[in-house]
Structure 1
Amino acid sequence: MSTVIAEKTVHSSSVTQAAARALVEAVNAAAGRIGFTAAVAVTDQGGHLKAFDRADDAPFLTAEVALDKAWTAASFHRPTHAWNDFLTDRRIAPLSGHPRVMAVGGGYPIIVDGRCVGGLGVSGGSYEQDMRAAEEALTTLGFELPAQ
């Protein structure tokens, strides 16, 4: 039996370098208004680092947390705060052992026309502050917020 596969590749879009840098700047501006300093990571749709910044006085651990938030959001096309509920499901809970899965608010998929083109991770404030700065940056630059 012969099977012909019509499509052998899939088109993949990625956040641009310019947009990644603009997101970092927008998050830092929002964090300043909110009252905290942050580490900000932007990844492409495959979770690879595209842009990064850590404020001088942001704790060093915020760098790794921001990157893992961006990676988690890009990997699963879901905000990281959603993972708190997901991980209570015993069928999904084993993923909590993955060293990069970050179930703390502040990570968002970067969405354009309904497609995930990257991930944004913010760390340095409370999870609410991180989420607020990320959401403000995404909406300011015209990216879609994922359905909650």
Structure 2
Amino acid sequence: MQLDTIDLNILTLLQQNGRISNQDLAEQVFLSPSSCLRRVRILEEAGIISRYSAVLSPEKLGLELDVFVQVTMRRDVESWHENFMQVLQDYPEVVGSYIITGDANYLLRVKARNLKHYSAFVLEKLYKIPGVQDIRSNIVLQAIKETYELPRELLRDG
């Protein structure tokens, strides 16, 4: 799908405020409300807008620990990759999981209430997955930059 400047403006504004009314959105992108709504629906149907959500504050909800975890697997365990991916789906502490290049096979982003909770997660869940060989934890001390918005400069412009 080819995006034009108006589409990019719509996407930028919706990323900043997913609850903006169609009327306000239309005014800000200089369209009629019906034209604006039609464009938003096209962006949704094309999968460019995949969903709407609220961004929660982990700290205010008692999740004090944010950890990036590198996991290295033993390759001699049958179906290690499929099994690992399946088991992760049942662990609410894992809020992001990625197959990566480098020394480890996976990078996980884990949220935990505190160090005790994280330690229990590693010892009672992660290390018990068949094939896990090594776990390296990187605890976030302070977030310098974190955004959920895709920068407009990286989006396609028709």
Q: TM-score, normalised by structure 1?
A: 0.29
Q: Which has the higher contact order (CA 8 A, sep 6+)?
A: 2
Which is greater in Rg? Answer: 2
Q: TM-score, normalised by structure 2?
A: 0.28
